[in-house]
Structure 1
Amino acid sequence: MTRTPRLPLATLRAFEAAARLGGFSAAAEELHVTAAAVSHRIKALETELGTRLFDRRARGVSLTEAGHRYRERIAAAFAMIEQATTELGRPSLDGPLTVSAPHAFMQRYLLPRLDGLLHRHPGLELRLVGDNRPADLREGEVDVAIRFGSGHYPGLQVDYLSGDAITVLGPPSPAPDRTSSDTWREARFIEDSSAIATEPWSHWAPWWHEAGLHDPTGLHRLAVSDSGLALSACQQGLGLCLARFSVALDTLKRGQLIPLRPWRATEFSYYLATLPGMANMPRVDAFREWLRREMASLGRELEERRARRPA
């Protein structure tokens, strides 16, 4: 069985510093030792490993190919040590975190992606609250709230997450003729009664007008209490629905529904709201950074979709 060398940390630190800074003298200055001491440690390391890590020339030293490979792994190891040391002095990430978000966003977007967060932070104890009303952070109902709105929430720490877009969705087949008002008059329209009154494209009136349905009298309608139910009813073939991209994304990817009109940017966006005193807590910070990465991906996918023509 081959013996794995147990190398002194000071020797590895000397190599990492010399490789990063490009010379023994610079490494010696950073480590507060002499250049001769750095040279001696690296020579001992090369002897122990049986591999030359530096080419030594009159004008200085440079890493060999083996040295480059070794430096990448050693640098990563030291970065992990530094991170562990930093986190040791912080409050633990382990423990409860209560998150509020609109029902449909929670069910359709957040839940399918939470596995990545929980895998990365297994000690995080999430409590999820699906609620279309704005949670009261000041009363301690929740720790963080994902809100779809204007972003103007006085007294709270607010972080922008992502914009969104909305369109008409329907089943892939048979799909209503995009240009025929007669065909659209025969359709059933699923209405979300929780849609924000100040966001016009969340309601059917402008879409009907655009499709040439100037008199909505006699149209077939189905009312539901939130956008998640509207999307589910549409998937069941009960009619056409209006849906935001964030809520419908996974359904679109599976090809269960298709857009029947171009995507229109929503008036509002997604924000993460917290009390100022909690904004930098490790649990909140970890959740925020994870959510930012996820929703940056959402924004890229939205731009790709908006560049396509609807069915």
Structure 2
Amino acid sequence: MTELPPLNSLRAFDAAGRRLSFRSAAEELGVTQGAVAQHVRQLEAQLGVVLFERVPKGLRFTSVGRSYHNRIAGIFADLRSATAELKPEPNKVLISVTPTFAAKWLIPNLPDFTSAHPNIDLRIMATEKVSSFHSDGIDLAVRQGSPPFGASLDVTLLFKQSLIAVAAPMFADEGDIPLEPEALSKLPKVHDTHDLWPSYLAQLGVKNQSARHLRLSQTSLAVDAAIAGQGVALVSRFLVTPDLEAGRLIEVGPAWDADRSDFYVLIPRTARNNQSVTNVLTWLKSRSASDT
């Protein structure tokens, strides 16, 4: 019988392959980044193949590495599923959201959820990557886009996308608020990964004339930069409602309902009979309705 690789090496490879990062895999497994890298190197040495290419921003599969990971990841997913069936946690609900949605909407509203459902253990997976309902054990997820998302999912609209241009109150000195499109086009811009400024200004009939741009990887960081006076950010209204009400931000440009970018809650149809998941969905819909 062919000797199997050590389980720890396979676990490290599985996590690193799903995250394409030794650092993220280490955080998931609760070990050091060096330990994950060492386990993967040992696995490569035992198998006699290179599984990953080390690139500046993380990892990239080799062709044999991708093929091997597809098999290994499925095996670990089956193990997690089998274990979960033996040790059910009926009150645990894992929700997958982006870091921005978590920081700017979900976490600020958690006291209300805890008050309404003190017995539900709501766990949050905040990541820019699309998590898997099966392999990551996700019960429900908030996704931005437009249906269809998949035949096996129940889809509920949470927020319509309504983008607004916001800035620190100091920008009110530029003129009457909201600003005229020409004046808005000249202000310094804060960008996130969605890069919607060109489309937003185009529908206002102007071109970007900013002399200064700040580019950030997350919308939540763009909001924080706008609050700090670094420029004008383009964000979903519901994410900055508390900042507008508190006076940390002002609305300097008209709203724009961007197509195909609404926020939805996705739930596997197999979770319909899970009362805890249903309660979380009901609460999300109730909170979003009150915010809207």
TM-score tier, shorter chain, comes to 0.5 to 0.7
- For residue 196 of structure 2, the aligned residue among 203, 207, 210 is 203
- For residue 114 of structure 1, the aligned residue among 110, 113, 133 is 110
* 1:186–1:273 Cα change, 3 Å: closer
Aligned to 2:274: 281
Give the distance between the partners of 1:246 and 1:133, measured in 2 at CA.
22
What are the within-5 Å matches in structure 2 for residues 233-272 of structure 1?
A: 233-267=225-259, 268-272=261-265
What SS does the corresponding residue of 2:198 show, helix, strand or coil?
A: helix
Aligned to 1:297: 290
Give the distance between the partners of 1:298 and 1:230, measured in 2 at CA.
21
The answer to whether the aligner puts 1:152 opposite 2:144 as a matched pair is no
Aligned to 1:226: 218
* 1:283–1:188 Cα change, 3 Å: same
What SS does the corresponding residue of 2:254 show, helix, strand or coil?
A: coil
* 1:110–1:297 Cα change, 3 Å: same
What SS does the corresponding residue of 2:283 show, helix, strand or coil?
A: helix
C-alpha contact (below 8 Å) 1:99/1:127 kept by paired residues: yes
Q: CA deviation at 1:291?
A: 0.7
Give the distance between the partners of 2:201 and 2:145, measured in 1 at CA.
25
What SS does the corresponding residue of 1:174 show, helix, strand or coil?
A: helix
Q: CA deviation at 1:266?
A: 2.8
Number of residue pairs aligned between Structure 1 and Structure 2: 199
Give the distance between the partners of 2:254 and 2:237, measured in 1 at CA.
12
Aligned to 2:82: none
Give the distance between the partners of 1:258 and 1:139, measured in 2 at CA.
42
Q: CA deviation at 1:180?
A: 6.9
What are the within-5 Å matches in structure 2 for residues 1-311 of structure 1?
A: 95-154=91-150, 155-175=152-172, 176-177=174-175, 178-179=179-180, 181=182, 183-184=183-184, 187-193=187-193, 195=194, 203-209=196-202, 213-214=206-207, 216=209, 219-267=211-259, 268-299=261-292
Give the distance between the partners of 2:241 and 2:189, measured in 1 at CA.
20
Q: CA deviation at 1:239?
A: 0.8
C-alpha contact (below 8 Å) 1:191/1:204 kept by paired residues: yes
Give the distance between the partners of 2:141 and 2:282, measured in 1 at CA.
14
C-alpha contact (below 8 Å) 1:102/1:130 kept by paired residues: yes
Give the distance between the partners of 1:230 and 1:187, measured in 2 at CA.
15
Q: CA deviation at 1:208?
A: 3.8
Q: CA deviation at 1:271?
A: 1.2
Question: C-alpha offsets along residues 167-223 of structure 1, whole Å, 9 cap, x if unaligned?
Answer: 111122332342373x54652211102x1xxxxxx611134446675364x621000
Give the distance between the partners of 1:94 and 1:156, measured in 2 at CA.
20
What RMSD in Å do the two structures reach over aligned CA positions? 2.3
What SS does the corresponding residue of 1:111 show, helix, strand or coil?
A: helix
What SS does the corresponding residue of 2:170 show, helix, strand or coil?
A: coil
Give the distance between the partners of 1:116 and 1:291, measured in 2 at CA.
11
2:279 alignment partner AA:
A
C-alpha contact (below 8 Å) 1:186/1:220 kept by paired residues: no
1:148 alignment partner AA:
Q
Question: C-alpha offsets along residues 225-266 of structure 1, whole Å, 9 cap, x if unaligned?
Answer: 011000000000111110101211111111111111111113
C-alpha contact (below 8 Å) 1:151/1:160 kept by paired residues: no
1:191 alignment partner AA:
H
* 1:124–1:215 Cα change, 3 Å: closer
* 1:212–1:161 Cα change, 3 Å: closer
Give the distance between the partners of 2:254 and 2:267, measured in 1 at CA.
34
Aligned to 2:32: none
Give the distance between the partners of 1:215 and 1:207, measured in 2 at CA.
10
C-alpha contact (below 8 Å) 1:167/1:244 kept by paired residues: yes
Structure 1 residues without counterparts, runs of 5 or longer: 1-91, 196-201, 300-311
Structure 2 residues without counterparts, runs of 5 or longer: 1-87
Moved over 4 A (4+): 183-186, 209-213
Give the distance between the partners of 2:276 and 2:126, measured in 1 at CA.
19
Give the distance between the partners of 2:157 and 2:288, measured in 1 at CA.
10
What SS does the corresponding residue of 1:266 show, helix, strand or coil?
A: coil
